[in-house]
Structure 1
Amino acid sequence: MSHEFLTLIDRVREQSPLVHNMTNVVVTNFVANGLLALGASPVMAYAKEEVAEMVSIANSLVLNIGTLREPEVEAMIIAGQAANEKGVPVVLDPVGAGATPYRTNTVKRLLSEVNISLLRGNAAEVANVIGEEWQTRGVDSGTGEGNITDLARMAAQKLHMTVVVTGKDDVVSNGEESIIISNGHPLLTKVTGTGCLFSSVVGAFASVETNYLLAAAGASAFYGAVAERAILATGDQHVGTFQMEFLNQLMLTSSSDVVDLAKVSIAEVTSI
């Protein structure tokens, strides 16, 4: 497999895709600033009266269920269906799936009423989406027992879409091919919104690459390299310093940096 996906950040910066984010209230500012820093154009629109029109001019749509309310869920359905009509890729972040029946049922509804292009979640969330047993402790739990490569492939096959399972290693699978990305840093788990921003970064990369397996793998390698460079630049591991430098490195990290730092492997096919 060609590793040209490691340089997709160049295409994002050249095209500055408009990413329509219907994300949660905790992370809106961080997501918008992160997308601006890496070179994309964010928009946050939630009202059902305008989301279809907004998504019609966007290059991707990101649906994030972190802070659920019924009006936003209805608006997500409208936006998702409008995106499907326009051929706009849709990324779903099933935050906290499995934590409550309402969250789980909302994800199921979105999957049944909208043609989702990519699902991005931690192992617990993805497992709960497809009805597999996995430990869930609140909306940020990714711990548990199991093989995340098999989980990603199983989910992609069951859902008929590209799936990204994030953790110590990220695994991207389309059900046939799976790519493991081992970049990143543990401090990413200590800053609220880094997972949500990553889903939006996946949306930005999917805006410029129609092979969603490669788009998500490129986004993961870039994001992990950004985290590693942030630690190198600050020389310490304080959360506040890391958060600010992470935003800096979203702007400063080049495609050649990603190529130099990338830890990417193709997963071997095993029986599930």
Structure 2
Amino acid sequence: MTKGELSMSYLDLVRSRNPLVHNITNWVVTGFTANGLLAMGASPIMAYAHEEVADVAKISSAVLLNMGTLDASVVQSILLAGKSANAHGVPVVFDPVGAGATPYRTEAARQIVREVKLTALRGNVAEVANVVGESWSIKGVDAGAGEGDVTALAVRAARKLGCLVVITGKDDVVTDGETTFVVSNGHPILTQVTGTGCLLGSVIGAFLAAAGEPSAQLEAAAEALAFYGVAAELAYAATEGRGPGSFQIEFLNQLALVTSDILKEKAAIAKLA
């Protein structure tokens, strides 16, 4: 797939349909996630209570499950919301933050993928590897040094889990196990602002909701990655030399300002043979 072949229609669908994204995410990033979703044209809801998460998931357009600040209560909320989303045909995105960092965190991630049918798994290479039982070092919640073929790992994980797999890094890989896209948009300054990876999971959820049909979800996820990366590139260009604080605010601005025409011009998406 080349830029000239991309329809780039999913961003417009997000903005016209205003999908409601239910976020069970880590406490560090709730405000940034909500603001990011609002900026791009989606609607956020943050609900964690065991008494209501199943009901909220049922009425949502997509569910984001993020285990960044993890305890037994969060795991239970994730399982309740995920299973409700499954029962009602709502797309589920899982971000296994820090899988591989501790035995508890790794087992929690594996329990979630056993009990919840995912639409997409989004993580760095170490997190994805540890979720599916492969070895890759991790430092805190960041991927450590490792050797291996990231694309091949993504394909294996997608086939094993039966869902889309997104591995983010210098280049982002998204695959359904048969067809794979590499997205080369973005900027390294994203790693200096906490919550950018967490927000990305929610953005992917909004795009999956807009796509509707499962057959469209792989391309929608690739477009979500390109959209996010283009917004980062434009935000950095507007704030170069002013640091990550200025970038963070401008990034929210660009999530609102990037149009489908800008995206079609700047997206760097390659389909692997």
Match for residue 147 of structure 1 among 149, 152, 159: 149
Normalising to structure 2: TM-score of the pair?
0.95
1:111 partner letter: V
How many matched pairs? Answer: 267
- Identical amino acids, percent of aligned pairs: 55
Provide the residue aligned with 2:6 in structure 1: 3
The Cα of 1:198 is off from its aligned counterpart by: 0.2
The alignment partner of 1:106 has SS state of: helix
Deviations along 1:212-269, one digit per CA (max 9) or x if unpaired, are 211210100000000011012223351111111001101011111111111111113x
Whole-Å Cα distance in 2 between the matches of residues 15 and 176 of structure 1? 29
Match for residue 119 of structure 2 among 98, 103, 117: 117
Q: Do 1:48 and 1:75's aligned partners in 2 also have CA atoms closer than 8 Å?
A: yes
Provide the residue aligned with 1:247 in structure 2: 252
1:100 partner letter: T
The alignment partner of 1:102 has SS state of: helix
Whole-Å Cα distance in 1 between the matches of residues 76 and 144 of structure 2? 28
1:52 partner letter: A
2:92 corresponds to 1:87: no
2:237 corresponds to 1:232: yes
2:191 corresponds to 1:186: no
Q: Do 2:33 and 2:199's aligned partners in 1 also have CA atoms closer than 8 Å?
A: yes
Q: Do 2:65 and 2:93's aligned partners in 1 also have CA atoms closer than 8 Å?
A: yes
**Which runs of 4 or more aligned residues in structure 1 lie more than 6 Å from their structure 2 counterparts after TM superposition?**
none
Whole-Å Cα distance in 2 between the matches of residues 262 and 46 of structure 1? 35
Provide the residue aligned with 1:48 in structure 2: 50
Distance 1:8 1:62, change over 3 A: same
Provide the residue aligned with 1:203 in structure 2: 205
The Cα of 1:146 is off from its aligned counterpart by: 1.7
Match for residue 25 of structure 1 among 7, 15, 27: 27
Structure 2 unaligned residues grouped into runs of 5+: none
Tell which deviates more after alignment, 176-185 or 154-163.
154-163
The Cα of 1:140 is off from its aligned counterpart by: 2.3
Whole-Å Cα distance in 2 between the matches of residues 114 and 129 of structure 1? 13
Q: Do 1:18 and 1:42's aligned partners in 2 also have CA atoms closer than 8 Å?
A: yes
2:223 corresponds to 1:218: yes
Deviations along 1:167-190, one digit per CA (max 9) or x if unpaired, are 000000000000000000000111
Whole-Å Cα distance in 1 between the matches of residues 104 and 37 of structure 2? 29
Q: Do 1:51 and 1:78's aligned partners in 2 also have CA atoms closer than 8 Å?
A: yes
Whole-Å Cα distance in 2 between the matches of residues 214 and 226 of structure 1? 18
Provide the residue aligned with 2:265 in structure 1: 260
2:11 partner letter: I
Q: Do 1:122 and 1:142's aligned partners in 2 also have CA atoms closer than 8 Å?
A: no
Q: Do 2:100 and 2:137's aligned partners in 1 also have CA atoms closer than 8 Å?
A: no
Deviations along 1:144-201, one digit per CA (max 9) or x if unpaired, are 2222111111111111110000000000000000000000000011100000000000
Match for residue 37 of structure 2 among 21, 35, 38: 35
Give the RMSD, CA atoms, in angstroms: 1.1
Whole-Å Cα distance in 1 between the matches of residues 197 and 145 of structure 2? 15
Q: Do 2:110 and 2:132's aligned partners in 1 also have CA atoms closer than 8 Å?
A: no
Distance 1:88 1:226, change over 3 A: same
2:170 partner letter: K
Deviations along 1:11-52, one digit per CA (max 9) or x if unpaired, are 100000000000000100100000000000000000010011
Tell which deviates more after alignment, 22-31 or 71-80.
71-80
Provide the residue aligned with 1:63 in structure 2: 65
The Cα of 1:135 is off from its aligned counterpart by: 1.6
Q: Do 1:142 and 1:167's aligned partners in 2 also have CA atoms closer than 8 Å?
A: no
Whole-Å Cα distance in 2 between the matches of residues 160 and 123 of structure 1? 18
Q: Do 2:130 and 2:136's aligned partners in 1 also have CA atoms closer than 8 Å?
A: yes
Whole-Å Cα distance in 1 between the matches of residues 74 and 267 of structure 2? 37
